[in-house]
Amino acid sequence: MRGSGDAREWWRVSLSERANMFRIEHGHGDAATGEVDIDTVVDLDNLEAKLLKWRREGFVSDAGREDEARAAEVGSRFGVELRRVAASVRAAREVGDEAGSEVRPVGATVRIGTVDMPVAQEGSPASQALVPRINNAYLFTARTDDIAMDIVENRRVMLIGHTGSGKTSFIEQVAARTGHGVLRANMNGQTTIGDFVGFWTVKGGETVWVDGVLPIAMREGYWLIIDELDFAEPSILAVLTAVLEPNGRLLLKERGNEIVIPHPEFRLFATANAAGAMSAYRHLYQGANLLNEAFLDRWRVYLFDYLSKDEETEVLRRTLPQLPPALAPTLATIAADCRAAFAREDLASTFSTRRLIDWAELMLRTGDAERAAGPSIYAKVSAEDAALIRSIIRHHAIFDAAPDAS
């Protein structure tokens, strides 16, 4: 089983009537009374593979549940004390903030979720140009409070998760609100060690050094987002490893071992689709490398799941206020259904928030949900996936509910 209440999902395994075969059933809600939507027979090899897969997906067997209950009981002995210590750490930090406010100008923080984050010091016009634009529709959820705190504490943060789950936009929106310039380097493509660290070149007869994106960000105090880090070449990972140490510096060997000391406002972020806990999905992100544990240990790694149905409904409403109010939750439900089908491996492609917003936007322009789904969804997936997604959409009967374009 995994999840609870209405979201509970289960697989049941029993002996099949056929020799050496097993019957597996899948359903939602109560395992005793719930409806079975998958009922099939598999052999032992197949069953073993399924058991592994279910465990990866967070399913826990009845025996596992008993173990967990025992562990929770033991854990609660420390839980009370841990919560007390955390509360006093928080309180001490707040007192520290008050003492510090004498030196800091008033209003120098901005609230992100429940965390007060310092605002950037006035930079040059060039750095101002790199501050992302605020997206007023952006929704900060409880999941991001810990990350905001990590940014304040200058930890290295890696966000992993499926495409379009909001990894990059979260960092950009925090930077937009705190006034920090952002540089991005995408590792899935032509980013070479030269682009990243810097290179010598000849300009007007003189040999000059050109800083790469990493030393620029470190010197100027920009926030650097390394996108798709799991595609980076090994030489880039090696350079990063040194910078990731606490108080890490960059050694420019090519420049006679010049040491680049990070500006206090420099922050380093990475995003990846298939690293760490996402490794099970590497087949979807062709060419992604496995990041080793020693490297991952230098980061705080956060798994970015898609937003919940309610959160996504809210995002749709904020992003597209013209959308008929009843349509937003239906669209969010369709996205959630497609993701569930993807998790069951009925669909080979997932359904991103980006895709959902794009579909809704096009729906508003064309006044036709089916036509809008063409370029925003169907054309991007296989014919089988398109057929299944179409049936999920049909199931929610929205094709005639879209607003009249006239």
Ligand X SMILES: Nc1ncnc2c1ncn2[C@@H]1O[C@H](COP(=O)(O)OP(=O)(O)OP(=O)(O)O)[C@@H](O)[C@H]1O
The CA-to-CA distance between both ends of the chain, in Å, stands at: 49
Binding to ligand X, residues 295-314 (CB under 6 A): 307
Both structure tokens of 338: 């497609």
Query: Residue 133 has which token pair?
Result: 């634009």
* Widest distance between CA atoms in the chain: 84
| CA separation for the pair 380, 372 (Å, rounded) | 13
Least gap, CB of 210 to Mg ion (angstroms): 26
Q: How many CB atoms lie within 10 A of CB 115?
A: 19
Give residue 172's identity as a one-letter amino acid code: E
Q: Do 161 and 167 meet the contact criterion of CB atoms below 8 Å apart?
A: yes
Question: 224 is in the binding site of which of Mg ion, ligand X, none (Cβ under 5 to 8 A by kind)?
Answer: none
Residue 357's binding partner among Mg ion, ligand X, none (Cβ under 5 to 8 angstroms by kind) is: ligand X
Q: Given the rule CB under 6 A, which of 131-139, 206-214, 215-223, 393-401 is the region that contacts ligand X?
A: 131-139
Cα–Cα distance between 197 and 404 in angstroms, integer? 53
Question: Mask 42-81, x = binds Mg ion (CB under 5 A)?
Answer: ----------------------------------------
Of these, 117, 291, 315, 381, which contacts ligand X (CB under 6 A)? 315
Among all residues, whose Cβ is closest to ligand X?
166
Among 117, 131, 132, 165, binds ligand X (CB under 6 A): 165
Contact between 176 and 134 (Cβ < 8 Å): yes
CB of 42 to ligand X, least distance (A): 33
Please tell me the distance from the alpha carbon of residue 388 to that of residue 341, in angstroms, as a whole number.
9
112 beta partners: 115
- Find the binding residues for Mg ion in span 132-171 (CB under 5 A): 168
- Cα–Cα dist 364/163, whole Å: 24
* Cβ atoms of 24 and 13 closer than 8 Å: yes
Region of 82-90, 133-141, 213-221, 323-331 interacting with ligand X (CB under 6 A): 133-141
Count of residues in contact with Mg ion, rule CB under 5 A? 1
Q: Which is nearer to ligand X, 275 or 392 (CB)?
A: 275
CB of 18 to ligand X, least distance (A): 44
Residues engaged in binding ligand X (CB under 6 A): 137-139, 161, 163-169, 271, 273, 307, 315, 353-354, 357
Residues near Mg ion (CB under 5 A) are 168
